[in-house]
Amino acid sequence: MPDLRASDADREAAVEALRHHAVAGRLDSEELEERVEKAYAAKLLSELAELQVDLPRLAVRPQPPADRPRRIPRMPGRLAFTYRWHSPADAKVTMRELMTFVVPPMERWGYDLTQRFDGRLRFERETRPLWTIPVAILLFPFGLLALLYKDRERVTIDLDEGEHGTQLVASGVAALPVRRAFAELED
């Protein structure tokens, strides 16, 4: 019988199981990182199974029903937000994953990574509001001072490592697409 090709969902499930084993102490951070790389590169289901052959099989737990509906932002504009979610991995592995999967999209949205500590990432973006251009034109030459004004958006992600993984909190002021992306991560 031919081996079946792995889907994205299969790869994500394998990575989640590996993270669970790392939290349980069966894998150290280097082994976890190595196996996660192999899981994302796997083409076949047998390759995913090989990554867990030396680990006990996890009992499948049904997802508990949601107590409250997820808050997906709908209001356009730059608004304040705070979202929390949990990672089963330790803070070091979680920070690597943030650097791999969160920093590039934030940079595409125009944010610069201005601070990176062990437990914190801070992104900032400066934009010139549209109102400054008509003010500069209508009140020339003094209106040119309006062009010096810039709005600043700041997003901070804090990591708090605990006994059962890492708690993440993203907060700040951002546009709708950024707020929606963080809302999807929320527990």
Mean pLDDT, the chain, rounded, equals: 84
**39 & 89 share domain:** no
Residue 64 domain-assigned (yes or no): no
* 97 within some domain: yes
Q: What is the total count of domains within the chain?
A: 2
Same domain, residue pair 44 and 94: no
Residues 43 and 95 occupy one common structural domain: no
- pLDDT at position 63: 46
2 part of a folded domain: no
* In a shared domain, residues 46 and 83: no
Q: What's the pTM value of the predicted model, to 2 decimals?
A: 0.56
In a shared domain, residues 29 and 104 = no
Q: pLDDT: is 5 or 60 the higher one?
A: 5
Does one domain contain both 150 and 104?
yes
Domain annotation covers residue 73: no
At position 46, the amino acid (one-letter code) is S
Q: How confident is the model at residue 78, as a pLDDT?
A: 82
Evaluate if residue 75 carries a pLDDT over 70: yes
Sort 41 into a burial class: Cβ within 10 Å, 0-12 / 13-18 / 19+. Answer: exposed
Q: Is residue 62 part of a domain?
A: no
Does residue 60 carry a pLDDT above 50? no
Residue 19 lies in a domain: yes
| 84/167 same-domain check | yes
Total Cβ atoms within 10 A of residue 99:
13
Q: Do 178 and 105 fall within a single domain?
A: yes
Q: Would you call 69 exposed, middle or buried from its count of C-beta atoms within 10 A (0-12, 13-18, 19+)? A: exposed
Same domain, 101 and 19: no
Q: Which of 149, 122, 119 is nearest to 134 (CA)?
A: 149
Query: What does the pLDDT look like over 156-177, one tens digit per residue?
Result: 999 988 878 889 999 998 888 8
What is the structure's pLDDT at 69?
61
Residue 74 lies in a domain: no
Per-residue pLDDT, 25: 82
Give the domain CATH number at 164: 3.30.310.220
> What pLDDT is attached to residue 58?
65
Tell me the pLDDT tens digit for each residue of 46-55: 888 889 888 8
Q: Would you say residue 88 lies in a domain?
A: yes
pLDDT at 87 over 60: yes
Mean pLDDT along residues 110-125:
89
Other C-beta atoms within 10 Å of 48: how many?
21
Q: For the purposes of burial, counting CB atoms within 10 Å of the CB of 34, is it exposed (0-12), middle (13-18) or buried (19 or more)?
A: middle
User: HEC states along the chain?
Assistant: CCCCECCHHHHHHHHHHHHHHHHCCCCCHHHHHHHHHHHHHCCEHHHHHHCCCCCCCCCCCCCCCCCCCCCCCCCCCCEEEEEEEEECCCHHHHHHHHHHHCHHHHHHCCCEEEEEECCEEEEEEEECCCCHHHHHHHCCCHHHHHHHCCEEEEEEEEEEEECCEEEEEEEEEECHHHHHHHHHHCC
Do residues 178 and 117 both lie within one domain?
yes
Whether residue 161 sits in one domain with residue 93: yes
Does position 43 have pLDDT exceeding 80, yes or no? yes
Residue 184 to residue 37: CA distance in whole angstroms? 23
Per-residue pLDDT, 61:
46
pLDDT of residue 62 exceeding 70, the answer is no
Do 94 and 45 belong together in one domain?
no
Q: Which domain holds residue 38?
A: 8-50
